[in-house]
Amino acid sequence: MKEQNSIPVTKSQRSAKFVKTGFQIGGNYIKHYSKKLFNPQMNRDELNEDNATDIYKSLSELKGSALKIAQMLSMDKNILPKSYVDKFTQSQYNAPPLSGPLIVRTFTKNFGKTPDQIYDKFNLHSSNAASIGQVHTAELNGKKLAVKIQYPGVGDSISSDLKLVKPFAFRLLGMSEKELNIYIKEVEERLLEETDYELEVRRSIEFSEACKDLDHVVFPTYYPELSGKRIISMDWIDGKHLKEFLKTNPSQELRNKIGQALWDFYNFQQHELRAVHADPHPGNFLITPDEKLGVIDFGCIKEMPDDFYYPFFSLISTDVIHDQEKTIEAFRKLEMILPNDTNDQIEFYHKAYREMISLFAMPYTHKTFNFDNPYFFNQLYLYGEKISKMPEFKQARGVKHFIYVNRTNFGLYSILQELKAVVNTDTYKPHVK
């Protein structure tokens, strides 16, 4: 892949890139409707493909929060046309890497030294380039290291990028402005944390220590003395990303083993630590040669306060959902039912959300769950499609914590579906009364 020699860093440079992409999309619509004059039967597939290509190209060159949003949208498979999902999924694995001189400049700025003065060996060509940074291999004292380098200007451009992404999000998601603002504020807080590499190193050490006794899960060792605001040094973990792993045609037993490790990793954190690795895209995991799950990124952590954790998990792990009064009480605490709702609205949202939570909770209500279950995922996607068309859901509902907790759990379900794993789901249970 061609290396990038510069990144638009200033607000005006990044804004100009968005405007240019907007013009390209406008051109795609004109081209589409011109063709439709001659072929009224023509559907929107080609238009979606062209728009997805132009938007992805623009976001991948801008990197940072712009590309991160593409990554997040690619995981919400039921809210975007397939061509967008396919294109944006690339952001989970690769983006155009930065050139050598830009890398050296980042090191000099952070450490006052070039990479060659810090490590015994350093490969200037990245092995992996994603939304916030890219990874290089290095060697020091006979150890192979992974060195993560943040793209220039990423942390400084988050707020302005999110304002620029808003028009695209309006068009793609059809959210109300209030709902979009709640979403964007929560995303902004998590992204600001993700660009703080010193915080990431501290959390990575803390979480890998807390999770070290989980079966078949491994973590790299982190080196704070070789890390800084924009650079993280850690042990290199050999392994395959999910796509490559699945190409090896693993046995069902191995799929189940990796799936179980993933389920335990997430539910141990949710229920024992009340804080969870909230970036469950496949690029953050490796399957190692000795059949373990390697977790290589703790940039995005979502903490769950008691006033969210208890009502939410009581709905999916107890009999509360079968008691209308208690369910409505939990929905009020979670702001899924609002103080000014009429009786008709209360009845409508109780029924709609009860259906959604009953679906979402299916893996929790069985001791064992087969994620190679087309019925379960079809029902989830159909429900998502159904509510996306309902005017009642254009209004913002639900506390902000849902954004990342839902993203985490649906992301987990999605990876388990790709693995076609059968897992024991009663290993780490919610702590609710």
Domain residue spans of the chain: 11-94+159-172, 96-129+132-154+195-236, 239-433
pTM of the predicted protein model: 0.76
Please give, one letter per residue, the 3-state secondary structure of the chain. CCCECCCCCCHHHHHHHHHHHHHHHHHHHHHHHHHHHHCCCCCCHHHHHHHHHHHHHHHHHHCHHHHHHHHHHHHCCCCCCHHHHHHHHHHHCCCCCECHHHHHHHHHHHHCCCHHHHCCEECCCCCEECCCEEEEEEEECCEEEEEEEECCCCHHHHHHHHHHHHHHHHHHHCCCHHHHHHHHHHHHHHHHHHCCHHHHHHHHHHHHHHCCCCCCEECCCECHHHCCCCEEEEECCCCECHHHHHHCCCCHHHHHHHHHHHHHHHHHHHHHHCEEECCCCHHHEEECCCCCEEECCCCCEEECCHHHHHHHHHHHHCHHHHCHHHHHHHHHHCCCCCCCCCHHHHHHHHHHHHHHHHHHCHHHHCCEEECCCHHHHHHHHHHHHHHHCCHHHCCCCCCCHHHHHHHHHHHHHHHHHHHCCEEECCCCCCCCC
What pLDDT score was predicted for residue 142?
Answer: 96
Residue 340 pLDDT greater than 70, yes or no: yes
Residue 39 pLDDT greater than 80, yes or no: no
Mean pLDDT of 134-147: 95
Residue 263 pLDDT greater than 80, yes or no: yes
What's the CATH architecture for 96-129+132-154+195-236?
2-Layer Sandwich (3.30)
386-416 pLDDT, tens per residue? Answer: 876 788 876 667 888 887 888 788 889 989 9
What pLDDT score was predicted for residue 102?
Answer: 82
What pLDDT score was predicted for residue 168?
Answer: 59
What pLDDT score was predicted for residue 379?
Answer: 87
Mean pLDDT of 88-110: 68
Share of the chain above pLDDT 70, in %: 70
222-249 pLDDT, tens per residue? Answer: 999 999 988 999 999 999 999 899 999 9
